[in-house]
Structure 1
Amino acid sequence: MPRHFHTISQADAETMAATRTFLKSMPGLALAPETRPFFDDMIAQTPLADGVDYEADTVGGVPGWWCRPKNTPTHGVILYLHGGGYVMGSAEAYRHPVGQIAAKAKVSAFALDYALAPERPFPAAFDEALAAYDALVSRGYTRIAIAGDSAGGGLTLALAAFVSTYREVKPSALVAISPWVDMTASGESFVSRAAVDPMLDRGKIIACANAYLAGAAPEDPRASPVFGNFSGLPPILIHVGDDEVLLDDSVRFAEQVERAGGVADLHVWEGMLHVFTSSIATLEAAREAMGGIGSFLASALRER
């Protein structure tokens, strides 16, 4: 398994120290419907990309936002599935980081407003992601990448396993940023990284899982792709912070893919927290990781 460990720069170390001080001064953010506006405001801190047009649309009956760099090819597309523990997040807020990815990949991306729990529990998010994928195929896209972060990263990998098995048009590439792939929260990093992760803990993760699953089995591969099928997946790029309690979700998934004969390119970033890639305005690591994501997707979606 290609595994890359990125050491933290001095500038990023200082920024992360200030970030940790700020987070300690804040009350713990509950991952719940009532905090959706705060979460969206936080995500929208990522600057909008220059040279990208943004347009609301419905794909496969599911609303979302297009992020279209000017003069992009029409054969390839990115389906982006946002984070937020399946209980928060919106495509409108995620236009900001998704537009940055689209600009760097030089290809259009559709950020999906999939169903959120507890109002619409499992498997609604999976079903809507699948409907959107099928609709993109129906629109004539021949090369489709699926990308996502956190819960959306897990949904990305769950969806990819399904369509790689049951659909004629397979995804061309996958990107997972700090993916949540195990709703049983059994990764060892929930213990080993507990003292250094000020954002997430096992209690928050289990609460989101319970809200989303609503009694369904946490081992269902549509919810926890670490328990699913790993054969036939396209190349996968994974970025994760070394200080995340979800670190082992990334490591275990990448190891499973390798054992199944696939390719998972895992990047672990020293000192970084959950979905650090969105902090391109303040972190050198985020800008480097985003550049790598763009290059990976541009290559995967190039017409051949």
Structure 2
Amino acid sequence: MPSVPEVTPRVPRPTPVLERDPSLQSRLVGGALRFTVRPLLHRMPGRPLPIRAARAAIDRASRLLPTDRRVRIERVRDPQLHNGHVVKAEWVIPDGHGADDAAVLYLHGGGYVVCSPQTHRGLTTRLAVDNAMPVLVPHYRLAPEHPFPAALEDALEAYRWLLARGFTRIVVAGDSAGGHLAAGLTAEINRHELPAPAGLVLYSPWVDLSCELSLAEDALVRDPYISPHTARRVGRLVAGTRMDPRMALLSLEWSQLPPVLIQIGGAEVLRPEGEAFAELLMAAGAPVDLQVWPGQMHVFQLLNKILPDADEAMRETASFIGSVIEGRRPGLTVVA
């Protein structure tokens, strides 16, 4: 699929989108969420106690989800103590996986406050099977108990863990807050002068934790379940008392950029953030594939077993990962 032309999301002109209509299944699911889940999330306070209660409920529910039988799940608990704590992760290994030096490092979403590797197995097992390579999913520390940069430190340790075990071709990926973390990790890898990842995959990245762009978009697009007002309250918990400059992705200077795939739902309030980030990376010289999927909600790829649109998005992801692992899309070294 060709890259989408350069966009300027801060001015009112349409962004090129993929030429397809959303499936009936997508429209039905989006409508159901809009009238059920979104009102609950919009009213959820951005305070520690309700967030911890939501986290516990989500984790309990995720235990009921079946795991794809084409993979095996191994727990990683490794005392690789660069920052004084243990590397904890889930290792998703597909049957008959291929190259021993290729892997995906996946950083789950959840606003930096909820979810876990188990809640995102619908994505991580699909990535493992489609690409015939293992996927490492860190149990990174969550806010408000552990505000930023705790999650970034854990993600960096997970990347070092892969490097120490001989993985030289690593694709970094993430969704929503995990997309923010994956992009921030790519910059941190460069800052620490570590080997660059082969590629970067971002699903509906939460680029701007201040939510300025998404708050403006909310009046135009009724996202099926994301409330930018709640997201902004949660963002303040994640940032702590002082915003770490590494969190401001749109203000960072980018260099040693790998090829990037960004997939955004056309019906989500985070769309302008993903577009702005794609524009920034393209201006820095990165090869960027920006895909806006019409009518799709936030991280619709999680429903790849239900929605044909999500299934196709995962096949697009596999094509991208295959190309960067095989070196068909070389990254650029850019000095900002």
The aligned amino acid for 2:77 is T
Report Cα offsets for 1:175-229 as digits up to 9, x if no partner. Answer: 1111111122221x422334511422232121111111111226x12x2322212
User: Equivalent of 1:190, from 176, 200, 215?
Assistant: 215
TM-score scaled by length of structure 2 = 0.82
Kept in 1, the 8 Å contact 2:218–2:228? The answer is no
Tell me which residue corresponds to 1:159: 185
2: CA distance, partners of 1:193 / 1:185: 10
Identical-residue share of aligned pairs (%): 32
| Partner-residue secondary structure (3-state), 1:243 | coil
Report Cα offsets for 1:46-82 as digits up to 9, x if no partner. Answer: 7633411111112542211111111212111111111
1:56 and 2:82 are equivalent in the alignment: no
| Partner-residue secondary structure (3-state), 1:245 | coil
| Partner-residue secondary structure (3-state), 1:295 | helix
User: Equivalent of 1:8, from 22, 28, 35?
Assistant: 22
Tell me which residue corresponds to 1:211: 237
2: CA distance, partners of 1:21 / 1:122: 33
2: CA distance, partners of 1:177 / 1:50: 25
1: CA distance, partners of 2:163 / 2:34: 43
In structure 2, runs of 5+ residues without a counterpart are 5-16, 81-85, 329-336
Tell me which residue corresponds to 1:92: 118
The aligned amino acid for 1:267 is Q
User: Equivalent of 1:181, from 179, 203, 207?
Assistant: 207
User: Equivalent of 2:90, from 52, 65, 75?
Assistant: 65
User: Equivalent of 2:154, from 128, 133, 136?
Assistant: 128
Which has the greater radius of gyration?
A: 2
1: CA distance, partners of 2:41 / 2:210: 26
User: Equivalent of 2:311, from 274, 287, 292?
Assistant: 287
The size of the alignment, in residue pairs, is 301
Supply the RMSD in Å over aligned alpha carbons.
2.4
Deviation at 1:253, TM superposition (A): 0.4
Tell me which residue corresponds to 1:269: 293
Report Cα offsets for 1:34-57 as digits up to 9, x if no partner. Answer: 101333466678763341111111
2: CA distance, partners of 1:27 / 1:75: 41
Distance 1:124 1:182, change over 3 A: same
Deviation at 1:136, TM superposition (A): 1.1
The aligned amino acid for 1:276 is F
2: CA distance, partners of 1:11 / 1:39: 24
Tell me which residue corresponds to 1:17: 31
Deviation at 1:161, TM superposition (A): 1.4
Tell me which residue corresponds to 2:137: 111
1:33 and 2:52 are equivalent in the alignment: yes
Distance 1:16 1:45, change over 3 A: farther
Kept in 2, the 8 Å contact 1:44–1:96? The answer is no
2: CA distance, partners of 1:81 / 1:41: 20
Deviation at 1:95, TM superposition (A): 2.7
Tell me which residue corresponds to 2:256: 232
Tell me which residue corresponds to 1:169: 195
| Higher alpha-carbon deviation: 90-99 or 242-251 | 90-99
TM-score scaled by length of structure 1 = 0.90
Kept in 2, the 8 Å contact 1:74–1:141? The answer is yes
Kept in 1, the 8 Å contact 2:267–2:297? The answer is yes
Kept in 2, the 8 Å contact 1:48–1:100? The answer is no
- Where in structure 2 are the equivalents of 1:227-266 lying within 5 Å? 227-266=251-290
The aligned amino acid for 1:112 is P
Kept in 2, the 8 Å contact 1:8–1:271? The answer is yes
